[in-house]
Amino acid sequence: MSKHYPHPILAREGWPFILCAVCVSVIASLIFGWLGALPLWIITVFVVQFFRDPARTIPQQANAVLSPADGRIVTVERCQDPQLKRDAIKVSVFMNVFNVHSNRCPVDGVVTQVNYFAGSFVNADLAKASVENERNAVSVKMASGTEITFIQIAGLVARRILCYTQPGDTLARGQRYGFIRFGSRVDVYLPPDATVKVSIGDKVSATETILAELAR
């Protein structure tokens, strides 16, 4: 378990938001009563569910590329890896505000590049979000020599990308490496000979869903 993952149920990024929501709801309850404060308690419940961060079962298949995020598959296409500058297959996972938003490494390997790009905040469900939105790209090289890239992309509501890794770090599949607040997406760039195991519209779970199988 990563040093950045000391919390088994709720993401620590959410603790200030949860505490603030609870305090405001309690104060409102004392002033207006429970019924008057009900809308604030509903918001508090939403904040708690947004920052949930459950433990996940990690598939051990050596050539598997795991989903880095919960959500829905919105893109499966051939394109160029913007970080490694090579042909690739892109698989995009869109996270709505009801999905778990902690991001987890899809493979075992060593981080070779981490690059942040400032940008806009259009709907992360749109194709242009991959090149126009604020984003953070991570590339990892596996023991086999295969290298993949996965990019956190802020969405229409998201305003903060958190990434806890840097070049030279060794990451394990399923290890928590970042977080995006309030609706976003993660693009995964695979080698062109990878076999994709998901389709557009599929719902996926971070770590537990196998996005693709690598040729080596």
| Catalytic residue positions, numbered | 184
Task: Give the whole-angstrom CA distance, residue 25 versus residue 155.
Answer: 28
Instruction: Please give the backbone phi and psi of residue 116, each rounded to the nearest 5 degrees, phi first.
Output: -105, 140
Asked if residues 139 and 110 have their Cβ atoms less than 8 Å apart, the reply is no
CA atoms within 13 A on the CB side of 177: 33
Task: Give the whole-angstrom CA distance, residue 86 versus residue 214.
Answer: 16
The contacts of residue 60 (CB under 8 Å, 6+ apart) are none
